[in-house]
């Protein structure tokens, strides 16, 4: 007998009984007792995304994680969907950068933050960006024009297609809980959290850290340390 992951999640969270038992939820990293059921792909319409920018159009070197400079991005959203922090994870090293959004979480603020951050990277570390189909990326053409970095979009309702970013966003909820105002955190706060996670050993990296992996990469590419920001 086989069951889909969504079926298992729904059985565990039992929404008709109020979600997970309190004692069980406290053992989870997110401490959440409830979970929103995942929608089917056909339940969400593709908005501003054209077929040429879908994830299946990414070059093979993005998928295999060998070539550096390919990033996954997204937002973690605060109370009432009014505030957010933009997150970027480099696919080969899992290096994290957190972007401070000034004045909101719309397309204008995300565009400004992404251009500011990606423009500061050397070309070998700025090759592509993969995002979900959130409206905050509706100005992706302008981002590409400003940085030379193409944007690829996940299929609707398939966040696992940018799994490194999704997993990292889950870790970030330890520092930025759901239902809180994320606008109170300064750029310095975000840099400190990113530095802490980048110094955390990861099993997938052979128990090395994202920071050490990035340092090794920079040495290989003979890049100046000052070019690495975040």
Predicted local distance difference test score (pLDDT) of residue 167: 96
Residue 46 banded pLDDT, cuts 50, 70, 90: low
How are beta strands 70-77 and 84-90 bridged, if at all?
antiparallel
Structural domain boundaries in the chain? 7-39, 49-227
Is residue 158 within 8 A of residue 123, CB to CB? The reply is no
Predicted local distance difference test score (pLDDT) of residue 221: 82
The token duo for 11 is 């059985």
> To the nearest whole percent, how much of the chain has pLDDT over 70?
76
Average pLDDT, the chain: 86
Distance of CA 154 to the CA centre of its chain: 12
Q: Is the pLDDT score of 45 beyond 60?
A: no
- Residue range 212-227: mean pLDDT, rounded: 78
Q: At what angle do helices 140-147 and 107-118 cross, to 10 degrees?
A: 20
Indicate the range of 51-55, 97-101, 114-118, 152-156 predicted with least confidence: 51-55
Q: Is the pLDDT score of 196 beyond 80?
A: yes
Q: Is the pLDDT score of 58 beyond 60?
A: yes
Q: Is the pLDDT score of 41 beyond 50?
A: no
- pLDDT (tens digit, 9 = 90+) per residue, 125-179? 999 999 999 999 999 999 999 999 999 999 988 989 999 999 999 999 999 999 9
The token duo for 226 is 């000052």
Residue 51 banded pLDDT, cuts 50, 70, 90: confident
One CATH from 3.30.420.10, 3.40.50.10490, 3.40.50.410, 3.10.20.30 for 49-227: 3.30.420.10
């Amino acid at each position: 007998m086989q069951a889909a992951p969504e079926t298992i999640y729904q059985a565990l969270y039992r929404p008709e009984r109020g979600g997970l038992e309190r004692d069980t939820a406290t053992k989870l990293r997110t401490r959440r007792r409830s979970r929103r059921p995942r929608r089917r792909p056909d339940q969400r319409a593709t908005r501003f995304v054209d077929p040429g920018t879908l994830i299946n159009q990414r070059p093979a070197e993005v998928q295999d994680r060998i070539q550096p400079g390919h990033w996954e991005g997204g937002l973690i959203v605060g109370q009432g969907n009014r505030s957010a922090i933009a997150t970027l994870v480099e696919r080969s090293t899992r290096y994290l950068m957190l972007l401070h959004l000034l004045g909101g979480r719309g397309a204008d603020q995300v565009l400004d933050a992404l251009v500011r951050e990606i423009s500061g990277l050397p070309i070998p570390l700025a090759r592509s960006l993969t995002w979900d189909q959130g409206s905050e990326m509706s100005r992706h053409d302008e981002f590409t024009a400003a940085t030379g970095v193409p944007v690829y979009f996940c299929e609707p309702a398939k966040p696992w297609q940018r799994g490194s970013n999704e997993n990292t966003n889950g870790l970030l909820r330890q520092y930025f809980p759901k239902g809180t105002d994320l606008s109170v955190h300064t750029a310095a706060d975000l840099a400190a959290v990113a530095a802490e996670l980048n110094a955390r050993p990861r099993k997938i990296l052979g128990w090395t850290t994202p920071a050490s992996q990035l340092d090794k990469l920079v040495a290989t590419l003979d890049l100046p340390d000052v070019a690495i920001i975040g």
